[in-house]
Amino acid sequence: MPLCFADPSAASIPLHILSKDALAGWLKDQSVQIQNWVAANTFTAGLGQALVIAGSDGSPAMALVGWGTAPTRARARFHLAAAASKLPKGIYAIASGLPDDTAETEALGWLLAGYRFDRYRKIAPMAALLVAPAGVDAAKVEAIANGEALTRTLINTPASDMGPPDLEDAARNLAITHSATIEVTTGDALLENNLPMIHTVGRAADRAPRLIDMRWGEDGPTLTLVGKGVCFDTGGLNIKPGASMGLMKKDMGGAAAVLGLAHMIMATGTKVRLRVLIPAVENSISSNAFRPQDILTSRKGLTVEINNTDAEGRLVLADALALADEEKPDQIISMATLTGAARVAVGPDLAPYFSDAPSFCAALENAANRIADPVWRMPFHNPYETMIEPGIADLDNAPSGGFAGCITAALFLRRFVTQSAYAHFDIYGWQPSAAPARHKGGVGQATRALFAGLDDILGK
């Protein structure tokens, strides 16, 4: 079911948001009965607390949500969502206490708290619905929420039902929804169309590799999104240990992220000429799998020595990035669950990104801070270029030594974009434990920040 706000014309329950500092003052203006009820239920306005107050007929007359203190709020996100799931069934409307500068983000958090991945078992929907707060663009927030929901669902779906053909189907459905055009190059046609590394990585799987190419929009700057679509990653002949393979259904998280971002852009009618490229493959093990120390020739003509078949994501992205760069768009952005090194560096919650453009970084980080979608800039550190040059070929897909893995991967990708502005995101795509508005499982990262900062990023 789509995530949406309640009908504003429906009868609703007033919702008061109270910080710890504001609680005593608010209670002074209430009846003795309300004061006693709040005290009896030990409501202290702690962050995420929720309390319903009944009227004389026993039905809910109002509800209270705790807003905590500034220090507790600084350590969390989506504060309203922390209470939303605790409220009983009903339609709620903000009556007081929600700061204007956070209203959109908090309303979004409420919608995201209602996300359910129920493909394989029934899960009760969230009981509490919200009327869009005053001043909030409800349609835009719903578009963002449903873009994020799309990303989550694609990542959560196991590889048995989310292989390259299924990822193609998801892209086609999105294209139909928004009247976009789509072309898909599959199997040996990849070789005929000079996409050799996508073919090489995916050729060992029963489900053929493919490149998905979706276009939308006729006006505005040109933006190309490239998402890593490795639907399952065994590691290839450099097979992953079981513990490392357990979450590899999420290795198409970059593709899921760019499709979610594309939905946000298209659903809101953003003035941009959008292209989405997704190399969709499975990195499988078979007699025709590519091997360590093979040397591949990319679409761009650069040769790549394979020193680890588990560093396959950068190979499929490289061909897609080279294709994207040939059109010289105003901005290319790649998103990928690319390296474990990025997780070691910043953990699961931050989305590390690479860009040499100060204007891009400023626009992105301003938006990220404003809407609680955290990012962290990492360096395209030029002195490390020698680490990806093996001598026998132009590039090494897995430099030895183990240092700076996310940086060397980003430098590898940058070699394939020479004519366009470029930024790369090395995301995790997974929420390890449940948090307000973020269930355990697949999650979007940096897409909301990119969407919020898009005008400034593209210089509109």
For 97, counting Cβ atoms within 10 Å of its Cβ (0-12 exposed, 13-18 middle, 19+ buried), the class is middle
DSSP at 302: -
Q: Tokens 């974009």 label which residue?
A: 417
Is 72:82 a contact under the CB 8 Å cutoff?
no
Give the CA count within 13 Å in the CB-facing half-sphere of 181. 8
Compute the distance between CA of residue 176 and CA of residue 416 in angstroms, rounded to an integer: 31
Active site residue 414: no
Which residue among the candidates 228, 299, 314, 438 is catalytic per the annotation?
314
Compute the distance between CA of residue 338 and CA of residue 352 in angstroms, rounded to an integer: 11
Q: Which neighbouring-strand residues pair with 211?
A: 185, 279
Which residue among the candidates 172, 240, 271, 273 is catalytic per the annotation?
240
Compute the distance between CA of residue 400 and CA of residue 307 in angstroms, rounded to an integer: 8
Q: Calculate the CA 446 to chain-centre distance.
A: 6
Q: Which neighbouring-strand residues pair with 427?
A: none
| DSSP of 337-386 | ---HHHHHHHTTT-EEEEES-HHHHHHHHHHHHHHT--EEEE---GGGGG
Is 187:288 a contact under the CB 8 Å cutoff?
no
Pairing type for strands 331-336 and 295-297 reads unpaired
Q: Is 318 helix (H, G, I), strand (E, B) or coil?
A: helix
**Token digits of residue 26:** 């608010």
Compute the distance between CA of residue 369 and CA of residue 446 in angstroms, rounded to an integer: 11
The contacts of residue 356 (CB under 8 Å, 6+ apart) are 380, 422
**Token digits of residue 205:** 């799987």
Q: Is 58 helix (H, G, I), strand (E, B) or coil?
A: coil
Q: Is 344 helix (H, G, I), strand (E, B) or coil?
A: helix
Active site residue 438: no
What is the phi/psi pair of residue 410, to 5°? Answer: -65, -40
**Active centre residues (catalytic):** 240, 314
